[in-house]
Structure 1
Amino acid sequence: MFLLNILLAIAWSALTGQFSPGDLAFGFVLGYAILWSLRRQLRGERYFTKVPQVIYFVAYVAWQIILANLNVARTVLFTPKEQIRPGIVAIPLDIRTDAEITMLANLITLTPGTLSLDVADDRSCLYVHTIDVGDPEQFRREIKDGFERLVYEVFN
């Protein structure tokens, strides 16, 4: 379904003669609407639940990166050196597949101020270094309720 949606976007751009990113995006949205209206005939129900999830996932990650950048800048510029408490936090994992764990670890590393260090041998825990631990339980909850939950939803 995704490839068909891409083909419809390209077809739209070819018909209009405009291959700009905006025209391709409009073609993608138009193709999505057409495919959505034909979803029962094409038996592609899953695609129409995943696309909004992926869009929300990308927006959430972008927002978290912006917030993390601001937080790191605030910590570095305005927090006295002796009050910064870097540390390693163990985050218990509900996700189990290699792809899910890799995605979560990469998202954490991509976010400024955090770095994924290791995964337990039994895949039950991810160890994360953070620039300023604060409350470890709150940090765990933020990862589990944010990135881990969204990774699970997108992959399942």
Structure 2
Amino acid sequence: MIRRILPHPALSVLLLVVWMLLVNEFTVGALFLAAVFAVLVPLVTSRFWPDRPRIRFGPDMAAYLAIVLFDIVVANFEIAWIILTRRNRDLRSRWLVVPVELRSAEAITVLAGTISLTPGTVSADVSADGRALLVHALDVADPVAEVARIKRRYETRLLKVFQ
């Protein structure tokens, strides 16, 4: 019964929270409108997500988010240091091909988004078969080690979250 009313409970919670943050004040009317949208949007869009991935919320998700946030902060300082201390000709920018073990489009999108959120790297393309990401890195001494780091830090954790 609950699954019929809330086909995507996580999406409903996210919509409710985002709506309340956008309104920027806590009133009964705003909460009611947020709740209406949080129920209606997933109901209307659920038929477009027949094979939605199973996401595990818990320690694996928390660890992934903590590592991503930590890496974003550290990468900001690293990029600032590079900008302030190096000349352009000293940069070792590289195109990296990251083989992907993730199978769902949503999981691959989260991985690509994570890579792009981390300063100094950007996901540029996904192969047609979804088995590789093309990533540009601003400063990489060892491309093989950087690919291994992306797989170790992000992909292995996403495999736990999305399965």
TM-score higher than 0.5: yes
Q: Partners of 1:104 and 1:132 in 2: how far apart? A: 20
The one-letter amino acid paired with 2:149 is E
Q: For 1:33-72, what aligned pairs fall within 5 Å after superposition? A: 50-72=57-79
Q: Partners of 1:77 and 1:111 in 2: how far apart? A: 18
User: Which ranges in structure 1 are unaligned for 5 or more consecutive residues?
Assistant: 7-18, 20-46
RMSD of aligned Cα (Å): 2.3
Q: Does 1:106 align with 2:113?
A: yes
Matched position secondary structure for 1:85: coil
Matched position secondary structure for 1:95: coil
Structure 1 residue 124: Cα displacement: 1.4
Tell me which residue corresponds to 1:153.
160
Structure with greater contact order relative to length (CA < 8 Å, sep ≥ 6): 2
Q: Partners of 1:85 and 1:101 in 2: how far apart? A: 26
Q: Partners of 1:92 and 1:52 in 2: how far apart? A: 26
Tell me which residue corresponds to 1:89.
96
1:84-134 deviation line (CA, Å, top 9, x unaligned): 021210001111210110000000001111110001111111000111121
Divergent runs of 4+, >6 A: none
Q: TM-score, normalised by structure 1?
A: 0.67
* Identical positions, percent: 34
Q: Partners of 2:84 and 2:158 in 1: how far apart? A: 32
Q: TM-score, normalised by structure 2?
A: 0.64
Deviates more, 1:74-83 or 1:135-144: 74-83
Check the 8 A contact 2:94/2:143 in 1, yes or no: no
Structure 1 residue 80: Cα displacement: 2.5
1:28-74 deviation line (CA, Å, top 9, x unaligned): xxxxxxxxxxxxxxxxxxx9x74111111111111010111111111
Matched position secondary structure for 1:134: coil
- Greater CA radius of gyration, 1 or 2? 1
Tell me which residue corresponds to 2:84.
77
